[in-house]
């Protein structure tokens, strides 16, 4: 059985493929449907954006569609970049651009003395701010017009130096104190066990089985 995930993000596709393959399902993404035009994500919340992506794609294809809207909430930035995480450093920013901007902004606030000192790791890298990854999932069925939704979060700390080369997006800067490792140092399986996306999937997938 195939599941369409309404994403163009290759990192997300890898994680969904890994999780869904364990249930005997094959993952398709927007890379498999180049005819679908760019979707305007203008919701105020992760959940609203996930619904927009799932509904637009589901109504176009006429099959149930899963969508993921996710991002990073940084405490020292009052929750930014939040729903703007993909566009933090500009409309077509790369992950590298976004990570550079995040470090730059947090270092600037530290230099101004406006943030609490969180200390450093054994390797000397500085802890810049507490943060949280959020993932909202929406599964939309065009036959019924109904959504199944789930959300997951994971807490961490932003560091001034990257750790690891796995994962994607902000993972290299996201330190997981509970594991004493960086998110990008985890295997796909380890990341799934603790991540925002893994948690949201564990809530959503049993409902998908029943649907």
Q: Which two tokens stand for residue 1?
A: 């059985």
Output the residue with the shortest Cβ distance to ligand ITT: 169
104 is in an annotated binding site: no
**Closer residue to ligand ITT (CB): 101 or 107:** 101
Q: What is the DSSP string of 92-127?
A: T--HHHHHHHHHHHHHHHHHTT-S----B-TTSPBE
**Closer residue to ligand ITT (CB): 34 or 119:** 34
Minimum distance of ligand ITT from residue 180's CB (angstroms): 18
Helix axes 10-21, 196-210, angle to 10 degrees: 50
Minimum distance of ligand ITT from residue 113's CB (angstroms): 29
Told to judge if 69 belongs to the known catalytic residues of this protein, a careful annotator would answer yes
Q: Which two tokens stand for residue 145?
A: 């017009």
User: Alpha-carbon distance 124 to 111, whole Å?
Assistant: 17
Question: Whose structure tokens read 């017009």?
Answer: 145
Indicate which residue of 69, 97, 122, 165 is catalytic.
69
**Closer residue to ligand ITT (CB): 194 or 210:** 194
Strands 146-159 and 174-176: antiparallel
**Closer residue to ligand ITT (CB): 85 or 126:** 85
Residues in the site for ligand ITT, rule: CB under 6 A? 7-9, 12, 41, 68-72, 85-86, 95, 98, 133, 167-171, 195, 197
18 is in an annotated binding site: no
Q: Can you name the residues that pair with 2 across neighbouring β-strands?
A: 26
Minimum distance of ligand ITT from residue 66's CB (angstroms): 11
Q: Which two tokens stand for residue 86?
A: 């993909």
User: Alpha-carbon distance 8 to 67, whole Å?
Assistant: 10
76 is in an annotated binding site: no
Q: Which residues are annotated as a binding site for substrate?
A: 7-12, 70, 168-171, 191, 196-197
The set of catalytic residues is 69
């Amino acid at each position: 059985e195939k599941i369409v995930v309404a994403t163009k993000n290759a990192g997300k596709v890898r994680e969904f493929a890994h999780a869904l393959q364990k249930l005997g399902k094959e993952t398709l993404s927007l890379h498999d449907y180049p005819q679908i035009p760019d979707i305007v994500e203008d919701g105020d919340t992760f959940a609203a954006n996930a619904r927009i992506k799932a509904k637009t794609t589901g109504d176009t294809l006429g099959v149930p569609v899963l969508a993921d809207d996710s991002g990073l909430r940084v405490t020292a930035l009052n929750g930014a970049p939040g729903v703007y995480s993909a566009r933090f450093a500009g409309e077509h920013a790369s992950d590298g651009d976004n990570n550079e901007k995040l470090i730059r902004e947090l270092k600037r606030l530290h230099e101004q003395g406006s943030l609490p000192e969180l200390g450093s790791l054994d390797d000397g890298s500085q802890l810049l701010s507490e943060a949280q990854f959020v993932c909202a999932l929406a599964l939309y069925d065009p036959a019924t017009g109904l959504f199944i939704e789930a959300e997951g979060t994971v807490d961490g700390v932003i560091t001034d130096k990257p750790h690891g080369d796995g994962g994607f997006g902000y993972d290299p800067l996201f330190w997981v104190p509970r594991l004493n490792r960086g998110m990008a140092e985890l295997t796909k399986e380890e990341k799934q066990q603790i991540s925002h996306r893994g948690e949201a999937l564990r809530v959503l997938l049993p409902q998908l089985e029943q649907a």
